[in-house]
A and B are shown apart, each in its own frame.
Chain A
Amino acid sequence: MTLWAATRANLIKDLRLEWRSKDALNATGFFSLLVVVIFSFSFEPTAEEARRIAGGLIWVAFLFAAIIALNQTWARELRHHVLDGYRLSPAPASALFLGKALGNFIFVAAVEAITAPLFIIFYNLRAVGDASLLILVFLFGTWALVVNGTFFAALSIRTRNREVMLPLLLFPISVPAVLAMVQATTFILTGDDSPLLWIKLLIGYDVIFTTAGLLLFPTVLNAE
């Protein structure tokens, strides 16, 4: 089985499971709606201030939402010993990782697509800079959270306090990515500066950690 075929099989399986249960989408979507509402109460900004802080708020909301989605990602593979079965199968382990990461990317991106318009409505946002660049920031930023999150979720299911461990591992490593997402989003909204440097940083971060994840995942899957 080639890497691509195995990845696609994993991805389709995850999408089908999610389509039938809608667990991750419901929980994550509702959670980020709550975060948006709570933030709106906590900060009551003017239009100018809103532009400056919205980049930070929006990514904090997505970071928390991603944690909720990612925490469930491996849990269902533990039931019925799916991971043990995978270890025995000839399919490449990195395909499992890639399929999972792509699946999580689709879930988190879907939630973001619902939440971002709400942010725009509640904060009366209007981008001064080039708004089309926001799409790049969201694609690369979400992948940065999800690729490391999928990997660290695979580490944290092996610990005693699964759900707590994931953010403890993901947040410190994600510091540069979060900084880049927030800076790029803020620059696009305020039009103060060019966001290109930060988008490039995100791309570099994505390339480095996608490679590291693909290379190290087989080791982690077979760690017993």
Chain B
Amino acid sequence: MKNLLIAVTLALLIFGFYQAIYVAPEEATIFYYHVPSAWTAMLLFFANFLASIAYLIWRSPKSDAWALAFAEAGVVYCTIVLVTGPLWAKPVWGIWWTWDARLTTTLVMWLIYVAYLMLRRFSEGQQTATIAAALAVFGFLDVPIVYMSIRWWRTQHPQPVIGGGQGSGIAPEMKFALFANWAAFMAMAAMTCWFRYQIARAEQEQEHAAALESLKTVEVH
């Protein structure tokens, strides 16, 4: 499982890199990294929401471990989006940052999930999973409201490139490179989440064992 994931991810990353750098038209190469990261981050946050709901219903520590893995990976990809965005915006728009709907929503999303990770870090014991899941639900409910509110406030981003209605869309070879990189980023996300999940499970088992151990000591004395 582990080796297969690593092999697939590496192959896709190399293929995506080749498509983006050598095959696709030579403009805005950062596009092939910025957009796939954004989609991947979105999906990871959505997966975190689903895992949190699953935890609230079934109370399985596995769902909690998944929620943690998805949130951490989501914050990493969201950070990539927030770093590559201004790098791309500066030459194209002439400014680093603008308070437009998708930029601002991404920033607020990043803030929400960093707050989520902080809450996890600063709480202890069994309750962590429950209160984190509750916050995840609040955070995910907030994202569409943020998006709508910023859109009413001001917007400047280009219309969504894929599925943005009439006149949207990109050259086929660009689209292929884009989706190749998206596949690579999704594979990388799946890989990191899988590893993080294993670590989270190991930590849970360790805590469980420590709790049992302390009970034993009480019995002896």
Residue pair B119, A179 in contact (C-beta under 8 Å): no
The docked-state distance in angstroms from the alpha carbon of A40 to that of B23 is 59
Q: Scan residues 149-164 of chain B and give those whose CB is less than 8 A from a CB of chain A.
A: 149-150, 152-153
Give the residues in chain B near A220, CB-CB below 8 Å.
130-131, 134
Given contacts A201-B148, A223-B131, A224-B127, contact A212 B122 (CB under 8 A): no
> How distant is B139 from chain A, measured CB to nearest CB, in Å?
7
Residue pair A172, B122 in contact (C-beta under 8 Å): no
> How distant is B60 from chain A, measured CB to nearest CB, in Å?
15
Chain A, interface SS category: helix
Residue pair A176, B119 in contact (C-beta under 8 Å): no
Residue pair A148, B130 in contact (C-beta under 8 Å): no
Give the residues in chain A near B126, CB-CB below 8 Å.
223-224
Most buried by A among B123, B125, B131, B139: B131
Task: Assess whether A183 is interfacial by the CB under 8 Å rule.
Answer: yes
Give the residues in chain B near A175, CB-CB below 8 Å.
108, 111, 142, 146, 149
Residue pair A159, B130 in contact (C-beta under 8 Å): no
The docked-state distance in angstroms from the alpha carbon of A162 to that of B116 is 15
Most buried by B among A152, A173, A180, A197: A173
Task: Assess whether A106 is interfacial by the CB under 8 Å rule.
Answer: no
The docked-state distance in angstroms from the alpha carbon of A197 to that of B149 is 10
Given contacts A204-B145, A223-B127, A224-B126, contact A148 B138 (CB under 8 A): yes
- Contact residue among B122, B123, B135, B145 (Cβ-Cβ distance under 8 Å from A208): B145
Residue pair A161, B145 in contact (C-beta under 8 Å): no
Q: Which residue of B lies closest to A213 (CB)?
A: B138
Given contacts A160-B123, A173-B138, A220-B131, contact A180 B149 (CB under 8 A): yes
Give the residues in chain B near A169, CB-CB below 8 Å.
115, 119, 135
Given contacts A155-B119, A165-B122, A220-B130, contact A212 B138 (CB under 8 A): yes
Given contacts A176-B145, A179-B153, A201-B149, contact A165 B118 (CB under 8 A): yes
Residue pair B122, A160 in contact (C-beta under 8 Å): yes
- Contact residue among B112, B123, B131, B153 (Cβ-Cβ distance under 8 Å from A173): B112
The docked-state distance in angstroms from the alpha carbon of A113 to that of B135 is 31
Chain A interface, number of residues (Cβ within 8 angstroms): 33
Residue pair B141, A209 in contact (C-beta under 8 Å): yes
Task: Assess whether B56 is interfacial by the CB under 8 Å rule.
Answer: yes
Q: Can you spell out 29 A-B residue pairs with CB atoms less than 8 angstroms apart?
A: A155-B119, A155-B134, A159-B122, A160-B122, A165-B122, A169-B135, A172-B108, A172-B111, A172-B112, A173-B115, A175-B108, A175-B146, A175-B149, A176-B142, A176-B146, A176-B149, A179-B149, A179-B150, A179-B153, A180-B149, A201-B149, A205-B145, A208-B141, A209-B138, A209-B141, A216-B137, A219-B56, A223-B126, A224-B126
Chain B residues in the interface with A (C-beta under 8 A): 56, 108, 111-112, 114-115, 118-119, 122-127, 130-131, 134-135, 137-139, 141-142, 145-146, 148-150, 152-153
Extra contacts, 4 of them, besides A155-B131, A159-B122 (Cβ < 8 A), are A158-B123, A165-B118, A172-B112, A179-B153
Chain A residues in the interface with B (C-beta under 8 A): 148, 151-152, 155-156, 158-161, 165, 168-169, 171-173, 175-176, 179-180, 183, 197-198, 201, 204-205, 208-209, 212, 216, 219-220, 223-224
